[in-house]
Chains A and B, each alone.
Chain A
Amino acid sequence: MGLDKIFGAAGTALAAQTVRLNTVASNLANVDTVASAPEAAYRPRVPVFQSVLRSTEGGVDGVRVADVRQSEVLPTPRYAPAHPLANEDGYIFESGVNVIEEMANMTDASRSYQTNIELVSTAKRLLLATLRLGQ
């Protein structure tokens, strides 16, 4: 195990949190998207995180996004007969995006991102100090 391995692990975390932020952005952008059928409506995207275990072989545990799945939340039907996309019964289907949930996810992702940046800068400082040892 070495301090340099922290860079790799923190890098994987930065990448994973970026994917998470991207899904939040997609979900929030599509909060008002409507469709004429429930199958066609936007489903919130959810990243699935998985740890990459390396610490048993002298590395540092990283993280990866195993999959970006669609949420199980059902689209919300709304009665709007005047809407151009309304079906024959007069319903449109809104995406099931929960704005509060997305905001909480966004905050967590950005905090996590900051933490990992700090890990990288601390590891860098320690490595440079080690290089200067004895000078």
Chain B
Amino acid sequence: MASGFNTVFNPHRQALNLLEQRLGLISGNLANASTPGYKARDLDFTQAMQAVEKDAQGASSAKGHLPLRGAGAGHVMYRTPLQPSLDGNTVDAQTEKAAFAEAAVRYESTLSLLSRRISGLRAVLKGD
């Protein structure tokens, strides 16, 4: 039964983890929007999610199998700046804000999906 719950919750949990990581990276970029020499970074969400899913399929029966901390660490990349700047800073505020908004909306939609899953399961458990 526990593994059944895992298959229901795990994909969402992993997505939330990666999105959280992405939101953190983008926040760091925006905090350093005026720091000379700062190089903006972002997470390739699609690739990171695929990698995590592959890991999960490979070891789905193992106990405590998912290394969730820094799951997307290998997929963090430097952003290609739209325009060069004299101080070496590659943070483009517009791009970062758009990326942040996108990640926030994805996070919220994952949360609402998860919420529906939970209420679905609850309805099944109650049986009425």
Contacts and interface: CB of A to CB of B under 8 A. Distances in A.
Interface of A: 1-3, 5-6, 9-10, 12-13, 17, 20, 49-51, 54-55, 58-63, 108-109, 111-112, 115-116, 119, 122-123, 126, 129-130, 133-134
B41 A55 contact: yes
A101 B52 CA distance: 48
A27 B59 CA distance: 62
Query: Which range holds the interface residue count of chain B?
Result: 20 to 34
A122 B97 CA distance: 11
Contacts of B70: 1, 58
Contacts, number: 99
Contact of A130 (B24, B32, B111): B111
A129 B108 contact: yes
Contacts of B118: 133-134
B49 interface: no
Interface string B53-71: 0000000000000000110
